[in-house]
A and B are shown apart, each in its own frame.
Chain A
C-alpha cells in the first residue's frame, strides 16, 4: 500500500478508494467484465471527488490509485469467488451512475452498497435447480438428444444443480465440486437414459453436465483480451479451461461406471 498524502478536501482519498474498491469488488464477484468494473469504479471515485483514478484489475484482487491535486493514494482489495449475479451487477451499475451525477454523499454510498449486498434478492434454490434442469434438457434437444433421453437429462441436471449448491454452501473447492457434480449428474442421466431406451445416451450424459460450463467467464475472458486486459482475460481463460477439464473428468468417471457407446 502506498499512501503518500492525505488531502484536506471534503472526502478523504482513503475513503473514496475504499468505497470505489467495494463497488469494484461487487461487480467482479457478480461476473462483470473488466471494462464495466473499470468504468464503474471510475464513476464512483470521480463522483465522490477524486480527480484522477487508475484501476488495476487482477483475478484475485483489485488496486486503485485515486488522486486530487498533489495528493494521491493507492489501496488494494482482495476478491472473493467470482460468480454471476445479474441483479447485483445491475444494481451496482445504477448506483455508480447516480454517484457520478453527484446524487450520493460518501456515507450514503457506503450504506447503499451494504444494502445492495444484504438486500440482494435471489430465486429460491428449488426454482434455480428446476430452471437449470430445464435449460440442460433444452441443450439436450439442441444437441440432438432423443425424447427418451430428455427426461433423464432434466432429472439429472436438476439434482446436479441442487448438489452443486449444497457443495458451494459447504465451501467445497469449485473444481473438485465440478467433478463430483459431473460424476453424479452424468451417471444418473446415463443410467436413466439406458432405462428409458434412449439411443443417444452419450449425448444425454454430456447435455446433463452443461450446467457446469462456465459460459459467462469464457465470454468475459475474450472480452477482456479484446478490450486490452490480456492478463485478466488469460487468467479467466485458464480458470475456464481447468473447470472444463475437471467437469469432463466427472463425465469420464461416469462413463466408466455406467458405460457409454450410444
Chain B
C-alpha cells in the first residue's frame, strides 16, 4: 500500500463522516471530532485491507480501534462517546454493496436472465458482505463499551 492511497482513504473517510455529522445535527464544535473519527476508522481499515485482511475483518478492526479510542475521550466534544463512534463508522457502512445486491436480485426476476448463476452468486456474496460487515462494525464498536461497563459495575 502506498502512502497516497492511505492518505486518500483517510482524508475522504474524515470528510464523509463530517458531512453526515451535519446531517445528523451534530453540534458544530463536535464536527472536527467526527471527522477525526471517520479518518481514524478509514485509516485502520485501509491498513488492514492493505495487509490482506478481508473487508469484514478490516471493518471489525477499525470499529474496535475507534470504539476503544472514543471511550478514552471525555464527553467534552458536545457529542456522546457512543455517537462519536457511530459517526466515525458511517463511512464504513456497506451501502453500495447492499444496492448492488438488490439490483442483482432484481435482474434475476426478468423473464430470461442472462448469466443467472453468476448474477445470483454475486448477489449472495454482496448480501453476505453487507450482513457480515455491519455485524463486524457493530460488534467492534460494542466490545469496548460492554467491557468498560463490566469494569465499572464490578
Query: Is B70 an interface residue when CB atoms closer than 8 A count as contact?
Result: no
Chain B: interface residue total (CB-CB under 8 A): 46
Nearest CB in chain B to that of A260: its residue: B103
A216 to B91 alpha-carbon distance, docked (Å) = 11
User: Are A135 and B99 CB-contacts (below 8 A) given A213-B93, A216-B86, A218-B134?
Assistant: no
Establish whether residues B138 and A131, one from each chain, have CB atoms under 8 Å apart when the complex forms. no
Main secondary structure of the interface of A (DSSP, over half): helix
CB distance from A10 to the nearest CB of B (A): 30
Establish whether residues B91 and A139, one from each chain, have CB atoms under 8 Å apart when the complex forms. yes
Tell me which residues across on chain B come within 8 A of A219, comparing CB atoms.
86, 89, 93, 134, 137-138, 141
Query: Is A43 an interface residue when CB atoms closer than 8 A count as contact?
Result: no
Query: Is B106 an interface residue when CB atoms closer than 8 A count as contact?
Result: yes
Interface centre among A131, A209, A211, A215 (most CB of B within 10 A): A215
Which chain A residues in 76-111 approach chain B with CB under 8 Å?
84-90, 93
Establish whether residues A86 and B16, one from each chain, have CB atoms under 8 Å apart when the complex forms. no
Q: Mark A196-232, 1 if CB is under 8 A from B, else 0.
A: 0000000100110111110110110011001100000
Tell me which residues across on chain A come within 8 A of B13, comparing CB atoms.
138, 142
User: Are A132 and B99 CB-contacts (below 8 A) given A90-B83, A219-B141?
Assistant: no
CB distance from B117 to the nearest CB of A (A): 20
Establish whether residues A248 and B98, one from each chain, have CB atoms under 8 Å apart when the complex forms. yes
Tell me which residues across on chain B come within 8 A of A203, comparing CB atoms.
96
Tell me which residues across on chain A come within 8 A of B90, comparing CB atoms.
215-216
Which chain B residues in 110-154 approach chain A with CB under 8 Å?
134-135, 137-139, 141-142, 146
Chain A: interface residue total (CB-CB under 8 A): 52
Establish whether residues B82 and A36, one from each chain, have CB atoms under 8 Å apart when the complex forms. yes
CB distance from A215 to the nearest CB of B (A): 4
A123 to B19 alpha-carbon distance, docked (Å) = 12
Establish whether residues B15 and A134, one from each chain, have CB atoms under 8 Å apart when the complex forms. yes
Tell me which residues across on chain B come within 8 A of A122, comparing CB atoms.
25
Which chain B residues in 2-24 approach chain A with CB under 8 Å?
8-9, 12-13, 15-24
Tell me which residues across on chain B come within 8 A of A179, comparing CB atoms.
none
When the two chains form the complex, which single residue of A216, A245, A248 contacts B24, counting CB atoms closer than 8 Å? Answer: A216
A207 to B98 alpha-carbon distance, docked (Å) = 12
Query: Is B73 an interface residue when CB atoms closer than 8 A count as contact?
Result: no
Establish whether residues B19 and A134, one from each chain, have CB atoms under 8 Å apart when the complex forms. yes
Nearest CB in chain A to that of B84: its residue: A86
Establish whether residues B95 and A215, one from each chain, have CB atoms under 8 Å apart when the complex forms. yes
Q: Please, could you name 24 A-B residue pairs with CB atoms under 8 Å apart, sorted by A?
A: A86-B24, A88-B25, A90-B27, A90-B80, A128-B23, A136-B19, A138-B16, A139-B12, A141-B12, A142-B91, A161-B23, A210-B95, A212-B95, A213-B93, A216-B90, A219-B89, A219-B137, A219-B141, A223-B138, A223-B141, A226-B142, A244-B102, A251-B103, A252-B106
